[in-house]
Structure 1
């Protein structure tokens, strides 16, 4: 039985969590922890569960409000899950080959949300469409555009359980990451008003990502979603990314149609699980 700790992970423990996550990703085919969980790895604002077998880290779990994620070797999955579990908790499994998804199913958890990963090769991109009158596109400027971006992000994702809750700390944690490139964070504005954005990311293996694409509610109907999408894809192609991925909720048919019309196809799926209430 592994030894469990609820302390905020220090630097050495965080490094061990990242090593374990890399091992699990290699075996299971998908990262077991999201960017959000990784950004909060050393934060006191969430609940941490760390499992050791002697001096070896064998599991980690993170509970943020009513949502949780975990990574563990196969022998420690149940122990980490037991330490995290509480009524109403929703737990993520990442990828179709996730080692924890069968454990959730065996213990009576049911799927309540699906997050689809779509991909497309960065070839044969459509031509840039004309911008609406008065609209320009430029790169994000850290420290200058933070407040405006947070406001539009909150409005664009008002019903999204994670993205709509981003704070300045969340933004600053991402812009401090080694992968952050302001040139790939595109803002559409008119008359100094931010209308939408496409934040791209390049992974360590060179694969690009549509990290966040959002349009202000007042700018809906201008066609900025497709316009920003294509310009971001072209930026990733110019950076040398051969392929681009993105994540979209299964209950967002409008976004799914936009991406499918733009050449994206299903690649993998993350699932959120919850115990039934009755």
Structure 2
């Protein structure tokens, strides 16, 4: 059956089902949380690839979304090229995981590796250190939705001022995550000093039982207090002891050796790789 590509937002359940099937085959989710949060967003361009089921109905075989110059695709193998053709070559493209079906296609089209995002993992069954002491005047509590939103967004923007995605989060991005079934406020740790937020460790649990260091950040004026390590360990212990996770994963940019060293020192090893591909020259 011929594949037809059209612009517009397909049914969310169909996109999630397609993404799950691609993940089962390739070993990594093809769409980021940010892309899923932007389904149907007016600021994003979207394309759906469909194939007739023989009875006149269209079956979703591919989905692509472009926002802020970045394209992500979840598609059956024979629909990838059609979605790239529809989206054009002006955007960079993410491939998720070593075995992503996009890698060979993008290389064949002349895309170039522009950024690497390493996935690190470590088991949680043993060898977790005790909670490191906190600096004088620092306390740790959990996030309170509706109370801490604005202060956390300001802290996140300051902590990730140079990050191409994380530092740009707004209220919509935060609320989209809070609405997700995986959200757990008790797994969202905040560090305070003199009534102001100075750091945070937000964790997530995946359906397969793996935990994730979703975001870990420290305010510029909180640097040097040992907050990164203190919050990291507290979050890992929560994942292991309260949420019964068998292991934990996280993502680190390849050009951030300081963070890589922090995590490898705490028992993480490299597991997989996401790549952002720059469009062909010319």
TM-score category, normalised to shorter length? over 0.9
Report if the CA contact (8 A) 1:24-1:32 is conserved. yes
Match of 2:55 in 1: none
Structure 1 residue 275, shift from structure 2 partner? 2.3
Match of 2:191 in 1: 188
2:255 pairs with 1:251: yes
Match of 2:50 in 1: 52
Report if the CA contact (8 A) 2:112-2:280 is conserved. yes
2:265 pairs with 1:261: yes
Deviations, residues 41-65 of structure 1 (Å, cap 9, x unaligned): 2222211011101211110000011
TM-score between the two structures when normalised by the length of structure 1: 0.97
2:216 pairs with 1:218: no
Q: Aligned match of 2:131 in 119, 128, 139?
A: 128
Q: Aligned match of 2:110 in 108, 111, 118?
A: 108
In the TM superposition, what are the counterparts of 1:59-98 in structure 2 within 5 Å?
Answer: 59-87=62-90, 89-98=91-100
Q: Aligned match of 1:19 in 17, 20, 23?
A: 17
Match of 1:277 in 2: 281
Report if the CA contact (8 A) 1:8-1:44 is conserved. no
CA RMSD of aligned residues (A): 0.9
Report if the CA contact (8 A) 1:199-1:210 is conserved. yes
Match of 1:145 in 2: 148
What is the aligned length?
Answer: 274
CA distance in 1 between partners of 2:236 and 2:47 (Å): 38
CA distance in 2 between partners of 1:35 and 1:183 (Å): 20
Runs of 4+ in 1 over 6 A off after TM superposition: none
Structure 1 residue 129, shift from structure 2 partner? 1.1
In the TM superposition, what are the counterparts of 1:191-210 in structure 2 within 5 Å?
Answer: 191-210=194-213
CA distance in 2 between partners of 1:27 and 1:116 (Å): 20
Structure 1 residue 276, shift from structure 2 partner? 4.1
Secondary structure at 2:15 match in 1:
helix
Structure 1 residue 17, shift from structure 2 partner? 1.0
Secondary structure at 1:126 match in 2:
coil
Structure 1 residue 35, shift from structure 2 partner? 0.9
Report if the CA contact (8 A) 1:32-1:93 is conserved. yes
Secondary structure at 1:92 match in 2:
strand
Secondary structure at 2:131 match in 1:
coil
Secondary structure at 2:163 match in 1:
coil
Structure 1 residue 8, shift from structure 2 partner? 2.6
Report if the CA contact (8 A) 2:117-2:252 is conserved. yes
Secondary structure at 1:36 match in 2:
helix
Match of 1:178 in 2: 181
Match of 1:119 in 2: 121
Deviations, residues 148-180 of structure 1 (Å, cap 9, x unaligned): 100010011111111011000000000111110
Is the deviation greater in 28-37 or in 224-233? 28-37
Match of 1:5 in 2: 6
Secondary structure at 1:37 match in 2:
helix
Report if the CA contact (8 A) 2:155-2:198 is conserved. yes
